[in-house]
């Protein structure tokens, strides 16, 4: 039942210079998924650039998501091309693992910046503004 999981724990699966083909369903689905990721990045970049009524922080978030998605789609497409052409060493499955880890980390950084750090900075700015409201203003 879990015969497809067992090779994942063997180093020869990840470091084979001439990678064996993917499973047939993955061979067909992967380019579609990568194209979808790339197109989603283009749509996010266009929305960040031309979206009406989008505030500055939301634009920055959409721009970062779009850039990450577009680059993930292009880099994944390049990896798929190397795999499809059976290029030695460049078609190693290790690169797919590095691709996934790299763009997963990028997504984590975007999430941490926009949903953890920015709200804390805004709360601190509101608190500071509330405090400074009662301080005497310099005379002009």
CA distances in angstroms from 50 to 53, 64, 112, 137, listed in the order given: 9, 15, 25, 40
Q: Name the pTM for this structure.
A: 0.80
Cβ atoms of 73 and 37 closer than 8 Å: yes
CA distances in angstroms from 117 to 9, 63, 113, listed in the order given: 37, 18, 5
- Per-residue tens of pLDDT for the chain, all 140 residues: 667 788 778 888 888 888 778 888 888 999 999 999 999 999 999 999 998 888 888 899 999 999 999 999 999 999 999 998 988 888 888 999 999 999 999 999 999 998 888 888 888 988 988 888 888 888 77
C-alpha 90: how far from chain center = 21
Structure tokens at 30: 């992967």
């Amino acid at each position: 039942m879990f015969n497809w999981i067992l090779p994942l724990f063997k180093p020869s699966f990840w470091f084979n210079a001439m990678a064996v083909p993917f499973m047939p369903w993955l061979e067909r689905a992967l380019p579609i998924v990568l194209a979808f990721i790339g197109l989603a990045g283009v749509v996010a970049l266009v929305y960040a650039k031309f979206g009406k009524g989008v505030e500055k922080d939301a634009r920055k978030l959409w721009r970062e998501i779009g850039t990450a998605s577009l680059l993930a789609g292009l880099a994944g497409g390049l990896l798929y091309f190397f795999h499809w052409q059976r290029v030695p060493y460049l078609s190693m499955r290790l690169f797919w693992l590095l691709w996934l880890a790299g763009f997963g980390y990028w997504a984590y950084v975007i999430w941490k910046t926009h949903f953890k750090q920015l709200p804390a900075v805004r709360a601190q700015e509101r608190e500071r503004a509330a405090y400074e409201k009662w301080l005497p203003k310099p005379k002009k």
